[in-house]
Amino acid sequence: MKYLLLAICCAAALAAPATEEFKTSAGVLKITPIQHGSLTLEAGGQVIEVDPAVSGFGAAPDFSKVPRADLVLITDIHDDHLDVASLAKVRKQGTTVVIPGAASGKVPDGVIMKNGETKKFGAWTIEAIPMYNLKNGPYHDKGRGNGYIVTYGGLRVYIAGDTEGIPEMRALKNIDVAFIPMILPYTMSPAEAADAVKAFRPKVVYPYHYGESDLKVFDAALKGTGIEVRLRNWY
């Protein structure tokens, strides 16, 4: 589903997207926002690309310029997450593409993960977490898509995908870094997102997949919680 809205980018308020580093027991993990729901994780000489896709917000990213992936994680079948042309640009010989089962028609060689499954890919551990609508929608049915927890060197990174603040999110434990969506009507409002984040208390949280949402609402709601909010310009 192509979103028809145009993102309003407030460059003075949001930091430009840049690679950020996190220390782990296995070395540094680098995370680079690309656009909307797309990001790159790099560690140990390997690359994970998440949802390489053209979102319909802002200028289209050039996926031919991002690092080629050893592993790709696809969260959903909507085309701001699964874009076959962009996916082809980040693949190389031997790239593994992890998908929810609903995406197998577009990625027939994908490795299917169901909600609740865990798989090891070298030094990376990938957990598939439910992502779905509770009251908004129906845009995302339970069981159709995956959020993911990516663990490297003990550092746990939660990439929520298109979801509301579902019980499975609120019950998460020991999340170091979280990427949380907030866009209506497809996921949730910034206030709802902040309420969910308060429940599972990641150390660092990035709003992503936010379109025209007012990130100041999210940021203000988490003041004084001890959770570090990092606002970045994804568009």
The series of mean pLDDT values per 10 residues for the chain, 235 residues long, is: 36 63 98 96 98 87 94 96 96 98 97 98 98 90 96 98 97 98 95 98 97 96 98 92
Q: Is the pTM of this model over 0.75?
A: yes
pLDDT for 15: 57
Q: Tell me, what's the pLDDT at 91?
A: 98
To the nearest 10°, report the CA torsion of 227, 213, 142, 178: -20
User: For position 17, what pLDDT does the model report?
Assistant: 67
How big is the CA angle at 13 (ends 177 and 216), to the nearest 5 degrees?
65
**pLDDT attached to residue 12:** 35
- pLDDT value at residue 14: 59
Q: List the beta strands (DSSP E) in the chain.
A: 20-24, 27-35, 38-43, 46-50, 71-73, 96-99, 111-112, 118-121, 124-131, 145-152, 155-159, 177-181, 204-208, 228-229
Which amino acid is residue 62, in one-letter code?
D
> At the top level of CATH, which class does the domain 21-229 belong to?
alpha beta
Tokens of 25: 């027991």
Pair of tokens at residue 172: 């998460």
Domain range summary for the chain, segments of one domain joined by +: 21-229
Q: Which helix (H) or strand (E) holds 194?
A: helix 190-200
Measured in whole angstroms, the distance separating CA 38 from the mean position of its chain's CA atoms is 7
d(CA 164, CA 222): 17
